[in-house]
Amino acid sequence: MSIRPLIILPDPLLRQVSKPVERIDDDLRRFADDMLETMYDAPGIGLAAIQIGEPLRMLVIDLAKEDEEPAPHVVINPEILGHGDDSAVYEEGCLSIPDYYAEVERPATVTVRYLDKFGKQQEIEADGLMATCLQHEIDHLNGVLFIDHISKLKRDMVVRKFKKLAREKAPPKLAV
């Protein structure tokens, strides 16, 4: 297992729509382990493959608290089948938008069909933080970020901030 570097806003890869996983094998399971290790190291509770540079429809989630036994979920080719009528607001953050948090309103419950890391079809009816996390990570697979769910003014401020940080970190260009 190895920790992979995170893709950070404004990297255009974050806006790419991920492709379905076509084969579940030992290599993909090792990749899932890398995703989990990267997520735990960050630390975070969810990570989409695109966030470490792989445009695959795959994500990992673990909502266990520090004093609890890890409870990792590997979710491959997720599909939202439906959601409830009620909504919930959570303060969300993102490993690809470090140190920025905002309240986001999403459906309070969601039903998701997916393949587990052994290729077995699963279905989950989630509520609370799991529903929010699933929707957040599935958004990543579709090139959508949580800041797309906040006001344009706030979103533009965040994007400008991260573009400026990226410019400051970029190596100087040499004149030829």
Condensed to tens digits (0 to 9), the pLDDT of residues 139-170 reads 999 999 999 999 999 999 999 999 999 988 87
- CA–CA dist 16, 19 (Å, integer): 9
Retrieve residue 137's tokens.
């990570």
- CA–CA dist 123, 128 (Å, integer): 16
Partner residues linked to 123 by β-bridges: 113
Q: Which pLDDT does position 176 carry in this prediction?
A: 60
What the chain holds in terms of domains, given with CATH numbers, is 12-169 (3.90.45.10)
| Residue numbers annotated as active site | 137
Provide the strand spans (E) within 13-84. 46-48, 58-61, 73-83
pLDDT in tens, 40-86: 999 999 999 999 999 999 999 999 998 999 999 999 999 999 999 99
Gyration radius (Cα) of the chain, Å: 17
Question: Residue range 77-104: average pLDDT?
Answer: 97
Partner residues linked to 73 by β-bridges: 61
Please report how many Cα atoms fall inside a 13 Å half-sphere around the Cα of residue 163, on the Cβ side: 7
pTM: 0.94
